[in-house]
Structure 1
Amino acid sequence: MRVVSLHSPAKVSGISTAGARLSRLPPPHEPWTPLLIGRALTDEIVRDTPLHDAPGLALCAWPADMSPVGQVLLVRERLRELGARVVIPNDLYHGFVAAALDHHRGVRVGAWLHAEHHDGDELFERCAPISDAWRCVSERGLARALRVGAGLDIPPAGEICPACVEVPPACAAPSVDGPLRLVYAGRLEKHVKRVMDLALLADELDARGVSFTLWVAGDGPARLDLARAMDTHIRAGRVSLLGPVAQHDMPALLTSADTLVLVSLSEGMPTTVMEAFACGRIACVTAGCGGAVPLIEHSGVGVVVPTGDMRAMAAHLARFAADR
């Protein structure tokens, strides 16, 4: 049974990272075939995605002047060529519609819902009725989907299905002296990811006299603005903007740090938090960080602060630095 998952060409994407891992499933599991779709997929664009070395990666590119209907039909043709029997569109409408058009051929649609904000609500409301099954990555996402889907003719809810992560064979213990080593990993974006709050966090830590190093792994539209806001800290050697970090290099980065920080307004089940836990690291996150919030609250492995409250996050990190 060929399972094909659809992805957009983002440089930093937890969904694409999960797709790359699922393409490497060992027997007896059926590996997923990742299909990267979009306009003008150049070699450079493909090389910059987390899927660039995924086994079986397929492409579907269209010209700039192609209509949305033409794009959907092109995706449907590509799915046929791949022999897709189950399509996982993720957050791409093209996949839902293209697969639904071939429902009479036995193609089935599995909706894997990652978002916990209004964009995800609209996607669910429009696409759940044409899906054969759906799963959410977190309990909070499931509760939200059930509220949005009340009254809709949709399949019954399934179990929670977070993205998978790899567990390294061995991890070094966190540091007990020197600067507090922090890492942020994710898309550099202002609204949902709220990355400009990282500059406020650095200011708060510096004002408290905390010796720290913050590594920022990722890329996105806010990169230049974040660099300007962090200029003093970058020149002082406290902050480093690393750019995108390859999936296979993430365990080394996380184990080099003491704590992961995540400051999002909204998440599903953030892969980077699960990766940090797999590497034996705690996470300091905001209340908008989706499924990571109950995970931290129930386990006690980390801290949750109100979204946007970098003073509270800095206070917790200062205590953590002092208690090492």
Structure 2
Amino acid sequence: MNLTADLTGQHVLVTGSAAAARRAVRRYRSAGATVHTLTSPAGFTPGLLDGVALAAAVDDGDAGWAVLPVACRRHRVLLVREKAAAPGGQVTLVGGGPGTEELLTARALEALREADVVFYDRLAPHRNLDRLAPGAELVDVGKRPGHHPVGQARIEQLMIESARAGHNVVRLKGGDPFVFGRGGEEAASCARAGIPVTVVSGVTSAIAVPAAAGIPVTHREVSHLFTVVSGHQPLTSEEHEHLAGLGGTIVVLMGVGTLPQLAAGLRRAGMRADMPVAVVERGYSDSQRTTVSDLSGIVTAAAAARCKSPAVLVIGEVVRQAGSCRAQAAQLAGLAGRLEAV
């Protein structure tokens, strides 16, 4: 059970070894409490509970803490039990999904709760990190188009330095860390430095953002394959020909800036001019927007709509399914309502 409490001005006693209790100490301080710590049961006396509103017993494996519950009952002090903090000196690469915290996995939420330091990206779900990672140090290392205040090498260095200082480090990234997220580079950098690293997969925007617009990347009798492409740099003629010849659905991440080259290259490679194309901007946000045209007209349509990053491009016949999928969902919702009424 997770509770949010305002403990401003309250005194809280946190018991347990310093390493095991470090997360609890930061969390209670972030809630406004004046925190007192006791690292060994040998130093406990009932008088330590005078004026204390809450005692937090961190399970550090020491049986000597059995005296604490009895003393709390006698002093009428609320006692809560806490898990020991995860060992420090490690890095967890966490995929945050397409930007909404509702799509964070259970494992991602657990990693954030246990974090001492969180290095987060611009497209990661960071709006409520103070709640998701209570008491952790939050460091914005996000890059924006044409503006990289913290370079990739420096990000990796910061992660390693923080882990070497004994911290449980979370690197929170948008989407999945291994889908154009440079997670492989960061994992390799940690491994070379001798830092244990764990990867928590995330919901990739390559599938989730089209779905948010009602576009399935595969659909029976329409598309039985999809290809995910980075649009960060223009593709080569050979790559255009390969994509045009594959068939199926093409999903392009970070492709608004190179859309003119992509559309022209696919046309030169033989893709039909009337192939449907969608630009889905800011997926899952309150300002999500979809611009639809065909391959011959998408550049003009995107310019007229002033499409900007972050956006996902979807090229293929599945774009035509967006309306029917939404209609089917509405019909199913209406059917469910009628069945409930019966």
TM-score by length of 2: 0.30
The higher radius of gyration belongs to 2
TM-score by length of 1: 0.31
